């Protein structure tokens, strides 16, 4: 991976005609089908520079998340991106779903420090930076996360890394989740299915032990290193009202896992106007990932 690969990627996108960028296709249909006329391109792969002391990694956006995770594990680090086997870094950023561990490791949006992306004119643009001085550039990076490639295609990115937890433990039991929000120090995840609560603790072994003792006293039992609940396949926005049977809430986030896909969201006209203007400014001819709509993200 290097300047050549990035330049080749830029040329493959080019300045004309509908074009779509493909990662590992694990969320390919998310946000609607891409116009079949679009040419398919793929971002470069490979780690360019790993700097554990600065806690940053620079890499091609087409790199597999699993390959990145393996490289970072050697240094006791990780990035706050998650996905199934085959998922790429660019895809995970473009989708922008937070990890289930978000309460502890932060959001996908905060992972991206710098992006070299190809815009609708086929130009290579640098946004953000590993040391954040320029707030405008920093925010542009954040805007690209979750935009499903409709505003630009990630070519190379610099990501923030973080220490890997020494220990991970899930506990579960019949209890309401509210008290765990206040009585436990930064649990990684709290899931609730309406009756059972599952809590994930992670961090230093000693801290995890202490927090686990507290959870035992509140009625939860240790269930092991893996999530004891099977998450239904459809990720939706949490709405008000009682939890429907078969759904699981990711407590403290706005995410609900459900057996059925969500109905199309109702989008306020004001919001739609802002989104349309933004997309038009970035891509006046609508050539990047035509047909995709990040506002139809529910799976």
Ligand X SMILES: Cc1cc2nc3c(=O)[nH]c(=O)nc-3n(C[C@H](O)[C@H](O)[C@H](O)COP(=O)(O)OP(=O)(O)OC[C@H]3O[C@@H](n4cnc5c(N)ncnc54)[C@H](O)[C@@H]3O)c2cc1C
d(CA 9, CA 247): 41
Q: What residues between 225 and 264 interact with ligand X by CB under 6 A?
A: none
> Which residue number, 24 or 177, has a Cβ lying nearer to ligand X?
24
Q: Which of 94, 112, 184, 255 binds ligand X (CB under 6 A)?
A: 94
Q: Is 1 in the site for ligand X (CB under 6 A)?
A: no
Q: Which of 5, 12, 13, 24 binds ligand X (CB under 6 A)?
A: 24
- Count other C-beta atoms under 10 Å from residue 79's C-beta: 24
d(CA 100, CA 102): 5
Which residues are CB-contacts of 239 (< 8 A; sequence separation ≥ 6)?
A: 256
Find the shortest distance in angstroms from Cβ 147 to ligand X: 8
Across 8-163, where does the E strand assignment appear? 19-21, 39-41, 47-51, 56-60, 77-78, 112-118, 124-128, 153-160, 162-163
Q: What residues between 37 and 76 interact with ligand X by CB under 6 A?
A: 43, 61
Q: Is 92 in the site for ligand X (CB under 6 A)?
A: yes
> Which residue number, 57 or 61, has a Cβ lying nearer to ligand X?
61
DSSP secondary structure letter of residue 124 = E
d(CA 221, CA 224): 9
DSSP secondary structure letter of residue 59 = E
Find the shortest distance in angstroms from Cβ 292 to ligand X: 5
Q: Is 149 in the site for ligand X (CB under 6 A)?
A: yes
- Count other C-beta atoms under 10 Å from residue 109's C-beta: 16
Spatial contact of 145 and 117, defined as CB atoms under 8 Å apart: no
Find the shortest distance in angstroms from Cβ 238 to ligand X: 16
d(CA 192, CA 133): 40
d(CA 177, CA 194): 9
> Which residue number, 140 or 148, has a Cβ lying nearer to ligand X?
148
Q: What residues between 107 and 146 interact with ligand X by CB under 6 A?
A: 108
d(CA 166, CA 176): 28
Q: Which of 1, 72, 100, 159 binds ligand X (CB under 6 A)?
A: 100
| The one segment of 22-30, 177-185, 239-247, 248-256 that binds ligand X by CB under 6 A | 22-30
> Which residue number, 116 or 193, has a Cβ lying nearer to ligand X?
116
Q: Which of 59, 77, 90, 140 binds ligand X (CB under 6 A)?
A: 90
Binding positions for ligand X, rule: CB under 6 A:
20-28, 30, 43, 61, 81-84, 86-88, 90-92, 94-95, 97-100, 108, 148-149, 153-154, 289, 292
């Amino acid at each position: 991976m290097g300047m050549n690969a990035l330049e080749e990627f830029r040329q493959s996108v080019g300045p004309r005609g509908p074009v779509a960028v493909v990662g590992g296709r694990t969320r390919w249909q998310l946000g609607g089908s891409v116009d079949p006329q679009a040419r398919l391109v793929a971002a470069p792969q490979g780690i360019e520079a790993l700097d554990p002391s600065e806690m940053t990694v620079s890499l091609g956006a087409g790199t597999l998340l699993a390959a990145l995770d393996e490289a970072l594990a050697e240094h006791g680090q990780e990035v706050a991106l998650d996905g199934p086997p085959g998922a790429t870094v660019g895809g995970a950023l473009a989708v922008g779903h937070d990890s289930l561990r978000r309460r502890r490791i932060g959001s996908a949006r905060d992972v991206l420090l710098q992006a070299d992306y190809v815009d609708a004119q086929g130009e290579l643009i640098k946004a953000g930076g590993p040391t954040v001085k320029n707030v405008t550039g920093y925010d542009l990076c954040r805007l690209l996360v979750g935009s499903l490639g409709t505003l630009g295609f990630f070519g190379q990115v610099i990501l923030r890394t973080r220490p890997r937890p020494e220990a991970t433990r899930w506990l579960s039991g019949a209890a309401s989740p509210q008290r765990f929000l206040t009585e436990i120090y930064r649990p990684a995840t709290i899931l609730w299915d309406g009756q059972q609560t599952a809590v994930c603790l992670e961090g230093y072994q000693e801290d995890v032990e202490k927090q686990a003792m507290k959870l035992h006293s509140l009625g939860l039992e240790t269930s092991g290193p893996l999530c004891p609940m099977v998450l239904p396949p459809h990720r939706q926005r949490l709405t008000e009202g009682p939890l429907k049977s078969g759904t699981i809430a990711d407590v403290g986030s706005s995410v609900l896992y459900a057996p059925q896909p969500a109905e199309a969201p109702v989008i306020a006209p004001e919001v739609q106007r802002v989104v349309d203007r933004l997309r038009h400014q970035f891509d006046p001819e609508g050539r990047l990932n035509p047909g995709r709509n990040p506002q139809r993200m529910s799976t």
